Amino acid sequence: MSSRSFRRSALLGAGLAAALAVGAGAVAHQSGDGGAPRLTVADPYIPLPATPGGTGAGYLTVRNSGGADTLVSVSSPAAGSVTMHRSTDSTMEQVDRMDVPAGGTLDLSRGGAHLMIMDWTRQPALGDELELDLQFAKAGRVVVRVPVKPLTYRPGS
Amino acid sequence: MAPLPRPRPRLLTAAALVLGASLALSACASSGDGGESTGAAKVSKKASTSRYQGTVLSKNFEKPDLVLNDTSGQPYDLRARTAGKSVLLFFGYTSCPDVCPTTMGDIGVAMSKLTAEQRAKLAVVFVSTDPERDTPQVLRTWLDSMGKDFVGMTGDLAKVKAAARPLGIAVEDPVVDAKGAVTSTHGAQVLAFLPTDDKAHLLYMAGSSIDVYKHDLELMADGVAV
């Protein structure tokens, strides 16, 4: 199971890097693991849950032009529970950390690593912007404003 | 469509979709009832000429003999009610945040691009792997976000497991954690049954694009053979 997950995340990473016209080999060398991470968050979104107020997902990409870091938790004033998961071929498993490689990306996208959001403080609606607080081991707290998008939305579409 | 390549659930899947059905056996290798394929050579030949973009199945599973409640709470006999139509069949659960709404949502978008006449020849059926929480009403609300005419089936989980197993789709009891989060293990592939023999002929792994579904649903509506 874990080796499958690893293969998938490797594939996703490679796909994203290619789409950004950044060679997958070129992004990994910038700085050693010892440097401070330099993180930016791109394309965050929450698809409108299929059941109004029901279990939702959160997707985003963390880009790192510095040293390695780790996403250790996520919370939100908009929801009672935000947990980190990884979909596998037949189920999803909760994870307690997600690595952000030095000079690389952490990609949370459909069918792979994602956030699971439950216990909304109020039912999310299209056009809402909700706050996600990402807690990284080294970079600390990064606050992201995340738009609620249509159920089938994908970045770039 | 977005220029970003769609994520594939695993390398095998990406390869299978690119190469066609020569790898169909790999996609079903976890079924546990393998060894009854009709022969890889024959399948490869078939795949090279298929107009379909889904993975052509080497083993044409029977449509499950499954009767559960539909979303109005009435018994729904899958074989009887979908006879004469092409059927997309998916097993999942409504508190699934990622793969289930993505798959059903993408099929919904693909269906919305077809004419009413084309849609009338197709049925999209979702079978709940978490019937305890997925009541007919819960299921209807969830499905309506993706397709008002999607069929939802829910009921005895033992029957669901028995229906899924011969299709190579593993379904296990849902697990509920301390926070109330539900996790259900269910194969995430979509199977397409064709009306010519009411057997499964095509498989779509999680991550298949809207364009692939639209392309193949149009062929199914036109009665194109695999």
Spatial CA neighbour of A146 closest among A46, A76, A39: A46
Tell me the chain A residues in contact with residue B172 when contact means C-beta distances shorter than 8 Å.
91
Tell me the chain A residues in contact with residue B207 when contact means C-beta distances shorter than 8 Å.
110-111
The ipTM value here is 0.78
**CB < 8 Å from A in window 110-129 of B:** none
Report how far residue A148's alpha carbon sits from residue A126's, in angstroms, rounded to the nearest whole number: 5
Tell me the chain B residues in contact with residue A81 when contact means C-beta distances shorter than 8 Å.
179, 181
Average pLDDT over residues B103-128: 98
Report how far residue B38's alpha carbon sits from residue B45's, in angstroms, rounded to the nearest whole number: 12
pLDDT attached to residue A33: 54
What percent of chain B has pLDDT above 70? 79
Chain-chain contact of A90 with B104 (C-beta, under 8 angstroms)? no
CA B184, A49, B27, A17 torsion: positive or negative?
Answer: negative
Question: Which domains are assigned to chain A?
Answer: 2-149 (2.60.40.1890)
**CB < 8 Å from A in window 32-91 of B:** none
pLDDT attached to residue B40: 35
pLDDT attached to residue B53: 97
Report how far residue A53's alpha carbon sits from residue A73's, in angstroms, rounded to the nearest whole number: 22
Q: Sorting pLDDT into bands at 50, 70 and 90, what band is B148?
A: very high
What percent of chain B has pLDDT above 90? 73
pLDDT digit string, tens, across residues B4-13? 444 444 433 4
Judge contact between B96 and B87, C-beta under 8 A. no
pLDDT attached to residue A122: 93
pLDDT digit string, tens, across residues B73-94? 999 999 999 999 999 999 999 9
Average pLDDT over residues B48-66: 93
Judge contact between B208 and B108, C-beta under 8 A. no
Domain boundaries, chain B: 11-221
Return phi, psi of residue B183, to 5°: -125, 125
pLDDT at B157 exceeding the cut of 60: yes
CA distance B221 to chain A (A): 23
Q: Which of B8, B138, B182 sits opposite A11 (nearest CB)?
A: B8
Torsion-angle region of residue A103: left (phi > 0), alpha (psi -120 to 50) or beta? left
What end-to-end distance do the CA atoms of chain A give, in Å?
31
Average pLDDT over residues B49-71: 96
pLDDT attached to residue B26: 31
pLDDT attached to residue B178: 87
Q: Does B209 reach chain A within 8 Å, measured CB to CB?
A: no
β-bridge mates for residue B56, sequence order: B202
| Segments of chain A with pLDDT less than 70 | 1-33
Q: Which of B145, B186, B207 sits opposite A90 (nearest CB)?
A: B186
Q: Does B138 reach chain A within 8 Å, measured CB to CB?
A: yes
Task: Find the closest chain A residue to B171 by CA distance.
Answer: A90
pLDDT attached to residue A26: 37
* Tokens coding B218: 């149009």
| A123, amino acid identity | Q
Supply angle C-alpha B189, B193, B198, rounded to 5: 150
* Tokens coding A27: 């992004």
3-state secondary structure at position B122: strand
pLDDT attached to residue B47: 47
B100 annotated as ligand-binding: yes
pLDDT at B30 exceeding the cut of 90: no
Q: Does B133 reach chain A within 8 Å, measured CB to CB?
A: no
pLDDT at B173 exceeding the cut of 70: yes
Judge contact between B3 and B178, C-beta under 8 A. no
Spatial CA neighbour of A12 closest among A47, A61, A45, A46: A61
Q: Sorting pLDDT into bands at 50, 70 and 90, what band is B48?
A: low
pLDDT digit string, tens, across residues A75-106? 999 999 999 999 987 788 899 999 999 999 99
3-state secondary structure at position B47: helix
Task: Find the closest chain B residue to A91 by CA distance.
Answer: B185
- CATH fold of B11-221: Glutaredoxin (3.40.30)
pLDDT attached to residue B146: 97
Q: Does B1 reach chain A within 8 Å, measured CB to CB?
A: yes
Chain-chain contact of A50 with B183 (C-beta, under 8 angstroms)? no
Q: Sorting pLDDT into bands at 50, 70 and 90, what band is B36?
A: very low
* Tokens coding B214: 């639209």
Task: Find the closest chain B residue to A156 by CA distance.
Answer: B2
